[in-house]
Chains A and B, each alone.
Chain A
Amino acid sequence: MPADRIVDGIIDIFRRVLETDGVHADSDFFETGGDSLLATRVLSAIVRDHGTELTIAEFIESPTPSTLAKRIESVTR
């Protein structure tokens, strides 16, 4: 999957989980109303869409759609 398609997919997941349109590629999940319980939904959705299992620690290190996409790419490559 091309990199920007992964980013778009994650923006979509963030919007769904955070129930807001105000998400872009550099939005920090945990600064946009996200918490550790909503994070489980993001991680489950990423497994479904990209087959990549991330942990909360990895998510906290890469909290935006663009940084998460890089991490997913590096795992799946």
Chain B
Amino acid sequence: MTENHRPAASVAPADPSDVVELFLQAARRHPERAAIIHNEQELSYARLEGLVRGIAGRLGPDCGTVGVLTARSADTIAAFLGVLAAGGAYCPIDPAFPAERKEALVRAAGCRSVIAPDAAEVPLGLPALRLAEPHPTGLPHAPATPWPAVDPEDPAYVLFTSGSTGAPKPVATPRRAIAAAVDSLAGLLDIAPADRVLQFASLNWDTCFEEILPALTRGASLVIDDDAYSASFPRFLRMIERRRVTVLDLPTAFWHEFVNHLTEDRAALPGTVRTVVIGGEAARPARLADWRAVPGADRVRLVNTYGCTETTLVTHAIDLHGPLAVGDTSPTATPAAIPIGHALPHVREHIGEDGELLIGGPSLALGYRGLPQITGERFRAFDQPDVRGWYFRTGDRVRREADGALVHEGRLDDELKIRGIRVSPGEAEAQMCGHPDVAAAVATGTVVGDHTALVGYVLPRPHADPATLAAAVLRHLRERSPRHLVPTRITVVPELPHTASGKVDRARTHQLYAIRNEFKEASRAR
């Protein structure tokens, strides 16, 4: 890829193996073991390997970046591994995205072909590889030919992160970054063939690889179950027991609600669960205190994680509760701020001026595809005695605790985390301004329940009807924007306050117009 603006990371002697190689080794060791359990259907490692080889064979050795219209299915996971096995780069595309957005993503990622279910429309009319439906095992098995030679510096996937200008930024992640991060993470979580790891994260964001790759490189089973995504905790708990799930990786905002449910129902954690991983935003001390009182929580590892797309999956982690947690973990001993933890073995960290966390090491992405200037702003070369090589500026301010763990103290910019997904207010504002009756817009975060929600404020154009504009803009966004850029609430305002430098003041706007009432204060006090 020409967008690699930095030299290759230095290659350490004990570089971890490519994830495809590890998957094939696991398949050779446990061909009959279930790789994927999707509702009632089990797909063995041997069958999954057949699917992966079939897709890789059909893609050929020079497939470049391949778009994949995702679904929560073994097919999509086989497509991901198949693209990697063919030496290509995987680019997930949410089929629910509006057509315009899908086309923009495919174009920005440089996809040359798309893997799609039979009936699905392919963005930009690119060449399509159709997956046989509905039976995923119907693909022809390619002979066990040698795989194309892969370079650890080749991109393995292209994912998008929010850009302040309104356009999404494609992050290209090389194979060595994934190998390093998965090796560390599988070690941290001690994933073994007996494990059953829930596949909970959306297949369109990188968190899903934290579930898929540690499981499938270590011979464990990945569980996909409709009851996991029903938003019904009674169903969620029964699903865990039915499928004997041992490892859960949950967005912190969802875990908060899980804790609320367990606490209010005085329910216990299912006995099969041994590890719960959380991440995506700051964990709330009150929910950790509640968790520590849940029956069964003492024998379960609760692991808080931190990482960015640009630094691949997880870079920092800490056991907050359970057998490996250090210090006083009684419900009354909850700290005021919950740490994001210590750097994993593959990570180099440096705290820069302003307390900004900088990350170096083999898990760094190649940069933003086609955006050399923005890449140059965020990826910096250092040549100091103890800080050498390339580092990514996370934009997160941190401080170090006495025990060495890092605590997140906020952002250096206005970026928000909405249900674990990074949202640049500028991008959400640009989407709202796409409505013809909107003169200007502000997007910001507000706390509802135990999470941050995106709220919008719009200034109408002179001819617009302020009474119907909020609903009209919401409708407009739902048809055109991905879900994480659609505010949960839009308020029409008569004017927008400006800062001394003439920029729209987001914080002041929210202060002036946020809906207030006594319920808020009551629930905060809990």
Contacts and interface: CB of A to CB of B under 8 A. Distances in A.
Decide if A and B are genuine partners: yes
B453 A55 contact: no
A37 B257 CA distance: 7
Interface residues of B, number: 30
Contacts of B260: 41, 44
A56 B254 CA distance: 14
B449 A48 contact: no
Contacts of A21: 517, 519
Contacts of B377: none
Interface string A34-62: 11111111011001100001111101000
B471 A55 contact: no
Interface in B182-233: 229-233
Interface in A17-42: 17-21, 31, 33-41
B449 A17 contact: yes
Nearest to A21: B517
B400 interface: no
Given A31-B471, A41-B449, A19 B520 contact: yes
B517 A44 contact: no
Between B235, B264, B451, B488, the greatest number of chain A beta carbons within 10 A of the residue's beta carbon is seen for B488
B5 interface: no
Given A19-B517, A20-B517, A41-B449, A53 B488 contact: no
B519 A56 contact: no
Contacts of B144: none
Contacts of A71: none
B43 to A, nearest CB: 25
Contacts of A36: 231, 419
Contacts of B253: 37
A16 interface: yes
Interface residues of A, number: 27
Nearest to A36: B231
A40 B517 contact: no
| Most B C-beta atoms less than 10 A away, residue of A21, A35, A53 | A35
A38 B264 CA distance: 15
B469 to A, nearest CB: 14
A2 B451 CA distance: 35
Contact of A15 (B265, B451, B489, B519): B519
A43 B230 CA distance: 10
A16 B257 contact: no
Q: Is the interface of A mostly helix, strand, loop or mixed?
A: helix
Contact of B488 (A35, A41, A47): A35
Contact of A38 (B234, B235, B449): B449
A34 B256 CA distance: 16
A43 B451 contact: no
A17 B450 CA distance: 11
A53 B235 contact: yes
Contacts of A57: 230
Contacts of A53: 232, 234-235
B230 A55 contact: yes
Nearest to B478: A30
Contact of A34 (B233, B488, B517): B488
Contact of A44 (B233, B419, B471, B489): B233
Contacts of A59: 231
B448 A55 contact: no
A54 B419 CA distance: 22
Given A19-B448, A31-B474, A33-B448, A43 B232 contact: yes
A21 B261 CA distance: 23
B261 A44 contact: yes
Contacts of B419: 35-37
Interface of A: 15-21, 31, 33-41, 43-44, 47-48, 53-57, 59
26 contacts: A17-B449, A18-B448, A19-B519, A20-B515, A20-B519, A33-B448, A33-B488, A34-B488, A35-B453, A35-B488, A36-B231, A37-B257, A38-B448, A38-B449, A40-B254, A40-B261, A41-B260, A41-B449, A44-B260, A44-B265, A47-B234, A48-B265, A53-B235, A54-B232, A55-B232, A57-B230
Q: Which 8 A-B pairs have the closest CB atoms?
A: A56-B231, A55-B230, A19-B519, A33-B489, A40-B257, A40-B231, A35-B488, A44-B261
